[in-house]
Structure 1
């Protein structure tokens, strides 16, 4: 009887009247107990998650910075060695994502995720000791393998703790932290390059040392303060017993199912469900460039005026600022003004993609509009948080399927990006990537079909 009364006390809470403050931040209009829970959760899960994702992307972005700052000459990378190093990372990343998210459903996240961080931090330190390209390839492969589970794993954690009106903002902030790392990496290289020669290390090796120095304390703190799952009732040093019960009840209200055993029926259900195929297909079509530096190449080959090396490196950094702004704008619009409708934001971003890519495919456009297209096409990166939020909602009835779909969605993009640039974004076509721009336009148009199809199937499933 006491337990029933306790459960009732958790469920019956006075809900304040909704005001304009919820558009600023959703917790401002929530009951006091719920605000306290979400504050702790935002610091422990979102705060540590963003710091970890920042360091993860910093390590990825700094390979190119190191290459142009002495690594090329020191390791004799005068052929396609940089491409091989990037491919080695991609292969490890593809192989690691789905297994990592499956493991995450069985192992405490507060142990598994920080362990990944510690391992990739040690591997980053090892990059500062590389003397051959073979060592570089091996280290990059294992970096990809152990970094693979972080982003889809954190999105799975967000879906395990937050409600519908809260998820997109958190996923958007997480996504923006990766773009912020890319924006910051160039400034870090500028500062670290002056350490060249100290301790017998060139400047590019100091870059990886600093990456590790930044990553290590975040990984250690995560062992103590990163939450597990509401259903396990762990992390009592962070949350009170009443807060854990409230978190569990919030997930009941969202109809978000707890973990269950992997059975034959579950595996068949996952493999035959449409989210496993349509969500990755949309994400592939959205990410059409495959990371090709199309804007820097445009600046490099521009003749009137001719841009300096500093300008070629500086001007494209504005794209990362666009990514940060779009990630936050799309997240707030989806959670607040559109009341949790994800497909409308995705459709809007896809329409912009078609406009910008088709304009670049035409090529004979004004210089000003060409710059607008190069900058604003970066807005598609801001949609990542929305698609992972929608995946969490679509798969709310099966947490294992949710983990697999999230990881598959992210890994399939890496798989396609490993070979698509070799066909349509060839270096010899720079800066007029006609095949690439046409392909990106067609893939953007495909998104306009895939998004309504997913919305139709989601509505059908909910009616059932």
Structure 2
């Protein structure tokens, strides 16, 4: 038995390299210069993890953005939402999301992600269906809270799983491809609303109600697929599509990265996590990214809805802002490829660039009295700052590689604290009654993006010093 184990380990050692040699083809896709066995393993892993992660995040963002599209497509008038009810709906979702994140990620270090994440998806799909029957703002507040609570498992949980399988030269691309699906969800939501609006009146449902029905229909099959395709973590993985040797290969790859497997929580470990700069700087990095953009607010839609000459149609109001999402998709992929290859795993250059574009766009809109072409350019180019999430998460996985529980808590903390701020900040700076000239909101984005630049440089310095001292 011991001889067989030794033979398997020797075979795995021949397949995977400590420091992969880079050929030019790896700049196109990182598996092209790996061994056939590792390439086959990564193909299976990508097909399972990235497909499920991207589809799941797509429907999560579809749900998150659909409340905005439904609002500007008849829900506001039908339910009499003429004050700040939209802000409160978003805040209720955020509160639920914030409460659930860190507990959920801790659960992922103790139970099987293959069961936990899909179960939460099924719950939020059912609750999304229920939104179509709401007749008051209070009913929507309650449902949005529980939808946020269920959705809190997905993004930090899937980022944790991605960070448990991929190496440094692969990580940013997967994290960013995963995050790109949020922009695709935003784009599709606009087209979906434009399409289902034509169903207005069928079977007694308004167009905005059909949006939630179709959203739920899309969500449920994806959630159920998760029970079969999620590979769990390398040390407990037994999916039907990976052989025993391939599971060992996954474990060996993480050993070479110094990424530790699951271990019990102890007081010593907890004290170490909360006495390190990691959790504080990385959380601030993600907080400033997540609140340093205008993507979560329907600023472009509100501007188009308020425009008098020319007056835009419902279809135009829902589809024109998808251009911003398209910009986010393109720039996210550029950031991922350049970060993994050209910048050799350095995450901070793309973060500085995206934050700088954010400052330009938001500062221009804060001035407001600018040429119409510049205003449209600012709304559209704002997408350049929306694709940095995957880079921030990849950076966190690398910095926290030597402690699995720290990595889970830090990733959860990053996302949770970002939404803690998002739970109340929009109520102050993105008030619906100030649309479309959100001067406080645009000014806040400029300031927060400036802080993001400072935090990224500070994280670079601290991590560099830590590596030198090892």
Q: For the superposition of Structure 1 and Structure 2, which TM-score range results when normalised by the shorter chain?
A: over 0.9
**Per-residue deviation, 1:76:** 4.0
| Distance of aligned partners of 1:93 and 1:28 in 2 relative to their CA distance in 1, 3 Å threshold | same
Look up the SS of the partner of 1:419 in the other structure. helix
Q: Deviation string for 1:205-252 (max 9, x for gaps)? A: 2222211211111111210121111111422x1200110011000000
User: Is the contact between residue 114 and residue 231 of structure 2 (CA under 8 Å) also seen in structure 1?
Assistant: yes
**Counterpart residue number, 2:284:** 281
Counterpart Cα distance in 1 of 2:304 and 2:204: 36
C-alpha spacing 1:378/1:142, structure 2 compared with 1 (3 Å) = same
Q: For the residues of structure 2 that align with 1:108 and 1:408, how far apart are their CA atoms?
A: 20
Aligned to 2:131: 127
Q: Distance in 2 between matches of 1:239 and 1:63?
A: 39
Take 1:85 and 1:102, find their aligned partners in 2: how far apart are those partners? Answer: 27
- What is the 5 A alignment of 1:394-409? 394-409=399-414
Note the C-alpha offset of 1:56: 1.2
1:47 pairs with 45, 48, 51, which one? Answer: 51
What are the equivalent positions in structure 2 for 1:351-362 lying under 5 Å apart? 351-362=356-367
Match of 2:119 among 115, 118, 126: 115
1:271 pairs with 271, 274, 280, which one?
274
Moved more, 296-305 or 61-70: 296-305
Q: Distance in 1 between matches of 2:432 and 2:78?
A: 24
Deviates most, 427-436 or 142-151: 427-436
The number of residues matched between the two structures is: 463
Moved more, 106-115 or 208-217: 208-217
1:330 Cα shift? 0.5
Match of 1:247 in 2: 250
Tell me the alpha carbon deviations over residues 278-325 of structure 1, each in whole angstroms, 9 at most, x when there is no partner. Answer: 222222223324633333344455566665554443322211111111
Q: Does 1:145 align with 2:133?
A: no
Give ranges in structure 2 of 5+ residues lacking alignment: none
Matching residue within 49, 67, 73 for 2:71: 67
Q: Is the 8 A contact 2:328 2:384 kept in 1?
A: yes
Distance 1:4 1:310 in 2: 63
Query: 1:171 aligns to what?
Result: 175
Q: Match for residue 11 of structure 2? A: 9
Aligned counterpart, 2:161: 157
Where 2:133 maps in the other structure, the secondary structure is coil
1:315-464 counterparts in 2 under 5 A? Answer: 315-363=320-368, 365-427=370-432, 429-462=434-467, 463-464=469-470
Residue by residue, what CA displacement relative to the aligned partner does 1:412-441 show, whole Å, maximum 9, x if unpaired? 221112222333334455444433333322
* Cα pair 1:93 1:148 within 8 Å, conserved: yes
Q: How far apart in 1 are the matches of 2:175 and 2:52? A: 13
Distance 2:346 2:260 in 1: 21
Distance 1:189 1:437, change over 3 A: closer
Maintained 8 Å contact 1:289/1:436: no
Give the direction of change, closer, same or farther, for the CA distance of 1:415–1:14 in structure 2 (3 Å limit).
closer
Distance 2:322 2:333 in 1: 18
Distance 2:221 2:304 in 1: 39
Give structure 1 stretches of 5+ with no counterpart. Answer: none
Whether the 8 Å CA contact 2:83–2:433 is kept in 1: the answer is no
Give the CA RMSD over aligned residues: 2.2
| Cα pair distance change 1:347/1:6, threshold 3 Å | same
1:365–1:198 Cα change, 3 Å? closer
Residue 15 of structure 2 aligns to a residue whose secondary structure is coil
Q: Which residue does 1:221 correspond to in 2?
A: 225
**How many Å apart are 1:73 and its aligned residue?**
4.4
Residues 191 and 405 of structure 1, relative CA distance in 2, 3 Å threshold: same
Q: CA deviation at 1:379?
A: 1.1
| Counterparts in 2 of 1:151 and 1:8: CA distance versus 1, 3 Å | same
Q: Indicate how the Cα distance of structure 1 residues 79 and 409 shifts in structure 2: closer, same or farther if over 3 A, else same.
A: same
1:205 aligns with 2:206: no
| Contact map agreement 2:293 2:386 (CA 8 A) in 1 | no
Give, in angstroms, the shift of residue 177 of structure 1: 0.6
Q: 1:138 to 1:377 in 2, by over 3 A?
A: same
Deviation at 1:154, TM superposition (A): 0.5
Task: Give, in whole Å, the separation in 2 of the partners of 1:14 and 1:276.
Answer: 31
Deviation (angstroms), 1:171: 0.8
Check 1:263–1:51 CA distance in 2 against 1; reply closer, same or farther (3 A cut).
same
